[in-house]
Amino acid sequence: MGRRADDRGDLGTLFVLLGGLMAGSTLVAAVWGEWYVVPGFLLSAALTGALGAVLNRWGTDAPDTDTAHGLVTAALAWLASGALCSLPILLVAWTVAIDPRWLSTPELDRTLVVFLSPINAAFEGMSGVTGTGLTMALDESALPATIQWWRSLVQWIGGVGVVVLAAAIVLTGESGSFRQLYEEKSAVESIGSSTRETLRAIWWVFVVLTVGSVIALWAAGMPAWQAINHGMTGISTGGFTTTPQGIATYGDPVIEAVLVPIMILGAVSFAVHYYALRGNVRALYADRQTRWLLGLVGFGTLAVGGLLFAGPFVERGDAIRFGAFQFVSALTCTGFQTDTTLGTVWSIEAQLMLVAAMTVGGASGSTAGGIKVVRFMSLTKGSLYRTTEAFYPDRDRTPQIAEAEERPPSTTPPRSSIRPRPSDCSGSSCCSSA
């Protein structure tokens, strides 16, 4: 008998949730008195929620799904979420351009006029959902506060995964494509005894880290509204900002010093965070990926800082300060920037170091992008093994496969090494084929 939670039902559930977030964001508009953005957000919520309801109804009594369906559904979820999340930005820009008298809309400035184009709005939405951090906004500070919030919220839920959001809230014991995908492919499935418990634990950890990040930035001197937005986009390693020049706008080493560990925390596996928050501090240094991540941070800071000190920076402290921040921002794929001369004054070697860091990315099971540290570990150890094997072919050097966690060695000998003793055969034919 078919079940409700099929591909269409899962997508429908996700769209209903996104519609609810759009409607809920009107509370931000009420706080800031931006009533002219309310129609755009409510219309977006209605369209998104209606599409979700249709898909939910269409998915009733559909056949069971498997992992292949889950992979397709996840891909469609990311694509559709990016398009739907662009609707509030597009409709608000259109509202300001139409200028209804009863809404008291502000003047259409050069920042908002960019989003009159559906392509530009779709770019912004997709960049937010995927945590890419690229933006079409010319001056983020000129955007309505509700749009600033929406960009940060989209990047926040996109950092941990919009599919995880849907699955964590509504997943039941029924079969479904989201469950099939995350039950078999999740990098942190060992957190809980079930898929639903694991996904909810991920969100619990994410919320705790986000609140801590916001409080830390506010305590460091960042204005409360900007601390909320940068805390959300920092821990999700997305990089959207509310200022025209990113973190360089502040020019404050204290704020930068607070943001560096926030970005690193976003690049650490959720499983490590979960066990650490539950009192198992050993998980922080026992996890091999975390050790490699911190090692890369130390190496990159010294390397980039040295290149900057030998080039455009005359003060060693400034070279380490900017080198450390930009390398961590690149390694975690956050994209925050503290030096606006990075692309023009920095040496080619320093820029290539940042590109290499972005390619590696953070730990598997984190919000960071890149190929992940665990694959970099495997690639490095495999390359060393092959290189050494070419010079010393007669030596036995079996490479250790990189894993996120240490596993105790098995005490059971391989099946092929267990041979029956002659006294155990007792006339049977078990030894005849040996």
- Which is nearest to 184 in space by CA: 66, 269, 273, 271? 66
Cβ(29)–Cβ(91) under 8 Å? no
Amino acid at position 241, single letter: T
Confidence at residue 135, expressed as pLDDT on a 0 to 100 scale: 95
Long-range contacts (CB closer than 8 Å, 24 or more residues apart) made by 245-250:
245/337, 245/340, 246/336, 246/337, 246/338, 247/325, 247/336, 247/337, 247/338, 248/337, 248/338, 248/339, 248/340, 250/222
Residues 87, 121: Cα–Cα separation, whole Å: 7
Compute how many other C-beta atoms are within 10 angstroms of the C-beta atom of residue 43: 15
Angle at 42 between CA 41 and CA 44, to 5 degrees: 65
Residues 417, 413: Cα–Cα separation, whole Å: 7
Confidence at residue 78, expressed as pLDDT on a 0 to 100 scale: 86
Confidence at residue 430, expressed as pLDDT on a 0 to 100 scale: 41
Residues 145, 171: Cα–Cα separation, whole Å: 33
List per-block mean pLDDT (blocks of 10 residues) for the chain, which spans 434 residues. Answer: 51 90 97 96 97 82 62 82 96 96 91 96 96 93 97 92 59 48 46 69 91 98 97 96 94 97 95 89 88 96 95 91 97 94 92 96 90 93 87 66 44 38 41 38
Cβ(353)–Cβ(304) under 8 Å? yes
Residues 193, 6: Cα–Cα separation, whole Å: 23
Confidence at residue 42, expressed as pLDDT on a 0 to 100 scale: 98
Rounded to two decimals, the pTM is 0.83
Cβ(129)–Cβ(85) under 8 Å? yes
Angle at 57 between CA 53 and CA 60, to 5 degrees: 145
Residues 140, 124: Cα–Cα separation, whole Å: 12
Residues 379, 385: Cα–Cα separation, whole Å: 10
Confidence at residue 57, expressed as pLDDT on a 0 to 100 scale: 83
Q: What share of the chain is helix, strand, coil (3-state, %, to 5)?
A: 65, 0, 35
Cβ(366)–Cβ(270) under 8 Å? yes
Confidence at residue 399, expressed as pLDDT on a 0 to 100 scale: 55
> Exposed, middle or buried by CB within 10 Å (0-12, 13-18, 19+), for 331?
buried
Cβ(195)–Cβ(181) under 8 Å? no
* DSSP conformational letter for 62: B
Confidence at residue 161, expressed as pLDDT on a 0 to 100 scale: 76
Confidence at residue 7, expressed as pLDDT on a 0 to 100 scale: 55
Confidence at residue 74, expressed as pLDDT on a 0 to 100 scale: 77
Residues 388, 376: Cα–Cα separation, whole Å: 18
* DSSP conformational letter for 410: P
Cβ(120)–Cβ(356) under 8 Å? no
Compute how many other C-beta atoms are within 10 angstroms of the C-beta atom of residue 316: 12
- Which is nearest to 205 in space by CA: 266, 290, 129? 266
The pair of structure tokens assigned to 406 is: 């240490």
Provide the Cα torsion 14, 18, 23, 25; round to 10°: 140
Rg from Cα positions in the chain: 25
- Which is nearest to 199 in space by CA: 270, 147, 128? 270
* 200 phi-psi bin (left φ>0, alpha ψ -120 to 50, beta other): alpha
Compute how many other C-beta atoms are within 10 angstroms of the C-beta atom of residue 427: 5
Residues 56, 5: Cα–Cα separation, whole Å: 8
Q: Which residues contact 301 (CB under 8 A, 6 or more apart)?
A: 320, 323, 324, 327, 328
**Which residues does residue 62 pair with via DSSP β-bridges, in sequence order?**
3
